[in-house]
Structures are given as structure tokens and as C-alpha cells.
Amino acid sequence: MAEFAPRKRVVRRDSQAMSQWAVAWQQFRKHRLAMFSLYALVVFYLLALFADTIAPYGEAQSFRRGAENRSFAPPTRIYWRDAETGRLSWPFVYPVSASRDLRTLRLVYTEDRTQAYPVRLFVRGHSYVPPPLTLVPPQIRKRLQLNWETDRHLFGVEFPATIYLWGADQFGRDVFGRILFGARISLTIGIFASLISLSLGLVLGGLSGYYGGVLDDALMRFVEVLATIPSLFLLLALRALFPLDVNPSTVFLIVITILGFIRWGPIARVVRGLALSLREEEFVQAARALGGSDARILLRHLLPGTAAYAIVAFSLLIPGFILTEAGLSFLGLGINEPASSWGLMLAVAQEGGIQTFTSRPWMLLPGLFIFVTVLAFNFVGDGLRDALDPKLRT
């Protein structure tokens, strides 16, 4: 049986007993898909953190006027061979010029082969705040006088040539870059919203189960009422409480709060059940007999008992929130321009109707990223569940 496989390793470790977490980690590492997903997620998070440097253009940097119009420009072709000699050369691109096809009224991009522009590494471009500092909110940065900026980008080409690895959107913004910038929002929103849901669920469920009585009745009726309203509609109705046209960072907070609020019910219910059964355990009664306060019993004895469930629930909540955020932004009620999020980018794809599919399929790429991220989180969650709480397996 697979469950007994780690026995060998335990023996090798000079007969010292392993902690619950060490065993869980060992179990988790055997889940190959989960480990692979974990690596993939680490890569995604790193890409999101260094988005400013990796992306050749700024998040809101657009090319849409006159000669430099790049609205829905296709992915830039990168050449590796010299046009005349045919020998391998440093990669270069040709600038494109836009002209309108009078029959279809679409912009057509043609390459101008007269001058080649080499792809350069660590070029100067749009200036930005470098990575570790971007995590500090701008107000605090200003107060602490941390105003370092840099304008180096991993790669880029000289204007008038432009480099779009994955094409451009309606305003001539780089889709590759915006997917990376969008990853910041799509990857963090799920974590914060899950933290809110989980804290609400743990606190309210724990109190409800431990104290019982009127509090329990009232809370559980409220959870029931919440469950009666379809979560999408609850989400939309709650979104209506807040103004739509505010700056992106406020929207970010609003969305996190709302998302956190809609999913705590089921967690509270499970935690309540756990608390109910833990309350009757002998160690809890012993703690009470020894004169432990309610707060102490709740924090030191009941909370650790729900840890395994909490971690698994946390990891399985995240993908759901990523999907919900994408949906909300897709409807135009989530993250707003000029910030980017994967759902918002897909909304552009949808608005384009048939044109999206025939002349700019790259606008669908963010969907692939949502899919892969959610899949990875699901696998990690599955691995965690198998490792921490085999009873919960479905």
C-alpha cells in the first residue's frame, strides 16, 4: 500500500519520530502532479513579481496614434537569419506600418524590410519601480522617500520597431506584458480572498461550535440564508454597493472583500462540526479542568485541531476565487482599465466577436493562463489533502 511507503525513510532517520508536518511534506512530495504544479506556480509568481522587468513595455503604455498605431498588431516576427547571407544572426525584427484595408476596414500590418532592428537585452524604456519595492504601497514609499526607479527591461527593440511576443490589444498594448501584469492581480486576489473567507469561517465556525446556544443558532441560520442566494448573484449585488469607476487599487480591495465574504459559510459549517467534536475530547476537558480560559482553549486546543482542514480548504478555495475574479472582471465589474487582469483581457476578446477569432486569436491567451493556474492550484490542493487529511479524499 502506498501509505506505508515512507517507512523506510523513517527508519533511516536515526529513529527519531517525525512531526505531523514532516510526514505530510513527505507525502506531498510523492504526489508528482502536485509537486510539478507547485513548481509551475512558483514560476508564475516570479514572473508576476518581475513583470515590470520582463515585459518590454509598461502596463498602460499604448501605441495607438497615427503612424505608431499598433491596435491589434499581430505577434512580431523575430528573425534569426540574415536576409542576404542566410546565415544565423543575432535575432532582429522589422518595423511594421499600419494601413487600413478599405474592403474590410481592418488595420493591416506590413513589414518594412529596409532596416532591421536587433532585439537588445537590458534596454532602456518605460521607467518603473523595481520589484521588491513594488510590493510596498505607493503612499508608504512616498513617505519613506523610497523613490528609486529604473528603466531597464529584459529585452526590447528600438522605436519605430515594436516587439509584441503575443500580439497587441485594442490600444496597441503588449499582450505578453499585460498577461504578466494581470498575473499580479489574478494570482494575489485568490490568496487574499481565501484568507478572508478562511478567517471568517474559522472564527465564526469555531465560536459557533464551541459556545453553541443562541449564537450557534443565529450564525447557522445566517449561513443558510447566505447559501440560499446563488453566489454569482450575491457577488453581483454586493458589487453594486461600491462605485464602479474608482481607481484600480480600490477596486482590488473591493473585489477581495466581496469575494472573501461570499464563501465563508460552508467553511464555518465544517469548522463548527470540528469544534463540536473537539470540544468533547479529553484533552479539551482536561484543559478546562485545569482552569484554562475559553480563549486559551479556543486558540491552543481547538484551532490547531482544525489546521489540516484549514490548509486544505485554503488551497482549494484559491482556484475558485481566481475563476470568480476572472468572471467578475470579464463582466466589466471587477478590475478596471488601465490595470489588467486575465478576465478583463478576455472581455476584450469577447467584445471583438467573430473578429477575435478570425483576425486576433492571441486575445484568447489569458484564458489559457487562467486554466493552467487553476489546474495547478487544484493539483496542489489535491496533494495537500492527500498528505494532510486522507479522510477528506473524494
Partner 1 sequence: MTFGYLVRRVLQMIPTFIGATLLAFLIIQAAPGDFTDRFILEPNMDAAQLERMEARFGLDKPVPLQYLNWMWSLLRFGYLGESFSYRAPVNVVIIPLIWNSMSLVLVSLFLTYLLTIPIAVISAVRQYSFLDKAVTFLSFFGLAIPNFFFILVLIVGVLMLQPVLRDLGAGDSIFGALIRPLSYDLERGLLFPVGGMRTSQIYDQLTVWGKLQDRFWHLVLPVLVVTTASLASLVRVLRGQMLEFLRADFVRTARAKGLAESTVTYKHALRNALNPLISSTGAILPELVGGAGLVEFVVRWPGITPAFVAAIAAQDIYIIMGLLTLSAVLLMIGNLLADVLLVTVDPRIRYS
Of 260, 249, 362, 241, whose CA–CA distance to 317 is shortest? Answer: 260
Residue 188 vs 355, nearer CB to partner 1: 355
Minimal distance, residue 366 CB to partner 1, in Å: 8
Residue 172 vs 381, nearer CB to partner 1: 381
Minimal distance, residue 211 CB to partner 1, in Å: 21
d(CA 155, CA 85): 25
Minimal distance, residue 372 CB to partner 1, in Å: 8
Residues contributing to the site for partner 1 (CB under 8 A): 221-222, 224-233, 236-244, 319, 323, 326-327, 330-331, 333, 343, 346, 349-350, 354, 357-358, 361, 364, 367, 370-372, 374-375, 378-379, 393-394
Of 60, 6, 53, whose CA–CA distance to 30 is shortest? Answer: 6
**Conformational region of residue 81, where left means phi above 0, alpha means psi within -120 to 50, and beta covers everything else:** beta
Cell of 81: 537569419
Residue 154 vs 229, nearer CB to partner 1: 229
Residue 224 vs 294, nearer CB to partner 1: 224
Minimal distance, residue 368 CB to partner 1, in Å: 8
Minimal distance, residue 315 CB to partner 1, in Å: 14
Residues 6+ apart with CB under 8 A from 98: 67, 69, 70, 71, 73, 107, 108, 109
d(CA 174, CA 166): 7
Q: What are phi and psi of 201, to 5 degrees?
A: -65, -45
Do strands 117-118 and 107-111 pair parallel, antiparallel, or not at all (unpaired)?
Answer: unpaired
| Gyration radius of the chain over CA positions | 26
DSSP states of 1-37? -GGGTTHHHHHHTTTPPPPHHHHHHHHHHH-HHHHHH
Residue 113 vs 221, nearer CB to partner 1: 221
Residue 205 vs 320, nearer CB to partner 1: 320
Minimal distance, residue 221 CB to partner 1, in Å: 7
